[in-house]
C-alpha cells in the first residue's frame, strides 16, 4: 500500500496569498486520495495575515489558525494534518517541520534571524529544514539560489507551480550534494492543475515519521 502526503501548502487563514481556506484544502486533498498534508503557512517574515501590532504570543496563536482549522477538518474527513511553516530570508523560503507552537512562543526573536542562525536553532531543537524552490526567479526574491548545503536537511526538487528548468536545477543541486529530496504542490487554492507531494510505503503517525522517510530517501515523488 502507498500513502500520499502533501509537503507544501497554504491556508487563507494565515497566508495572505492563499485563496482557499484550510477546510477547503483538506476536502480537496481527501478527494484526491491523500493520506495527509503538512500545513506550511508563510511565517511573519513572509506573506502573512498575522497583525503586526499584536504581542508575540498572540501573533503565534494567530499563526497556527490555519493548521488548527485544517486539523479539525482533517478529523472530520479522515485526513492526517501535520504542522510546519515556510520561513523567508531575503526572499528565499525554507520549509520547517518537526517543531511546535511552544517553540515559536519561546523564540520571540526568530523573525529576524539569518540562515546560519535559523538553521542552527531549528536543528538543535530537533527540527527539519528544507529549502523550497531554490531556483525560483521572481522580482521579490533576493536570494534565488541554494544556500550552502550544510545549512539544510533537504531540497524541494519539484514544486508544482515552478518552472521546469528551476526544478531541474534544484534536483541537480541536491544530487551533487547528496541531499534528501522532496516534492510539493505549493498549493494556495483548491484549483491546482497539478498536485504533487511524496509517497511513503508506511503510514506516518507523526511528522517525524515523514522527516525520517525523507532523510533516508525512502519515498517516491508525486
DSSP states along 180-219: -EEEE--BSSTT-SS---EEESS--SSHHHHHHHHHTT--
What digits encode the pLDDT tens for the residues 40-78?
999 999 999 999 889 999 999 999 999 999 999 999 999
Across 9-19, average pLDDT? 98
- Inter-CA distances, 195 with 9, 37, 208, Å: 11, 12, 23
Helix (H) or strand (E) holding 155: strand 154-159
Cβ atoms within 10 Å of 38's Cβ, excluding its own: 25
What is the domain range of residue 162? 3-221
Domain count, the chain: 1
The candidate with the shortest Cα–Cα distance to 36, out of 61, 85, 70, 1, is 70
Across 128-134, average pLDDT? 97
Query: First CA to last CA across the chain, in angstroms?
Result: 15
Structure confidence at residue 104 (pLDDT): 98
Query: CATH number for the domain including 71?
Result: 3.20.20.140
pLDDT bracket for residue 85 (50, 70, 90):
very high
Across 90-107, average pLDDT? 96
Across 12-36, average pLDDT? 98
Average pLDDT, the chain: 96
- Inter-CA distances, 156 with 10, 166, 168, 178, 214, Å: 16, 11, 11, 13, 11
Query: What single-letter DSSP state applies at residue 95?
Result: E
Residue with cell 519515498: 219
pTM, 2 dp: 0.96
**Maximum C-alpha span of the chain:** 48
The candidate with the shortest Cα–Cα distance to 36, out of 214, 219, 210, is 210
Amino acid at each position: 500500500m502507498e500513502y500520499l502526503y502533501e509537503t507544501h501548502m497554504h491556508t487563507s487563514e494565515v497566508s495572505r496569498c492563499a485563496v482557499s481556506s484550510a477546510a477547503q484544502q483538506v476536502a480537496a486533498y481527501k478527494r484526491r486520495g491523500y493520506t495527509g498534508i503538512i500545513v506550511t503557512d508563510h511565517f511573519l517574515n513572509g506573506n502573512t495575515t498575522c497583525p503586526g501590532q499584536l504581542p508575540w504570543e498572540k501573533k503565534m496563536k494567530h499563526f497556527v489558525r490555519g493548521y488548527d482549522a485544517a486539523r479539525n477538518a482533517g478529523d472530520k474527513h479522515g485526513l492526517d494534518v501535520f504542522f510546519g511553516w515556510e520561513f523567508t530570508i531575503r526572499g528565499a523560503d525554507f520549509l520547517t517541520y518537526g517543531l511546535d507552537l511552544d517553540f515559536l512562543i519561546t523564540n520571540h526573536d526568530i523573525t529576524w534571524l539569518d540562515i546560519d542562525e535559523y538553521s542552527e536553532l531549528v536543528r538543535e531543537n530537533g527540527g527539519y529544514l528544507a529549502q523550497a524552490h531554490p531556483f525560483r526567479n521572481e522580482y521579490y526574491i533576493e536570494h534565488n539560489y541554494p544556500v550552502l548545503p550544510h545549512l539544510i536537511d533537504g531540497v524541494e526538487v519539484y514544486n508544482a507551480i515552478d518552472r521546469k528548468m528551476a526544478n531541474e536545477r534544484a534536483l541537480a543541486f541536491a544530487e551533487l550534494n547528496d541531499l534528501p529530496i522532496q516534492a510539493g504542490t505549493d498549493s494556495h487554492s483548491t484549483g491546482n492543475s497539478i498536485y504533487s507531494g511524496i509517497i511513503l510505503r508506511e503510514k506516518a503517525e507523526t511528522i517525524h515519521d515523514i522527516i525520517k522517510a525523507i532523510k533516508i530517501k525512502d519515498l517516491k515523488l508525486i
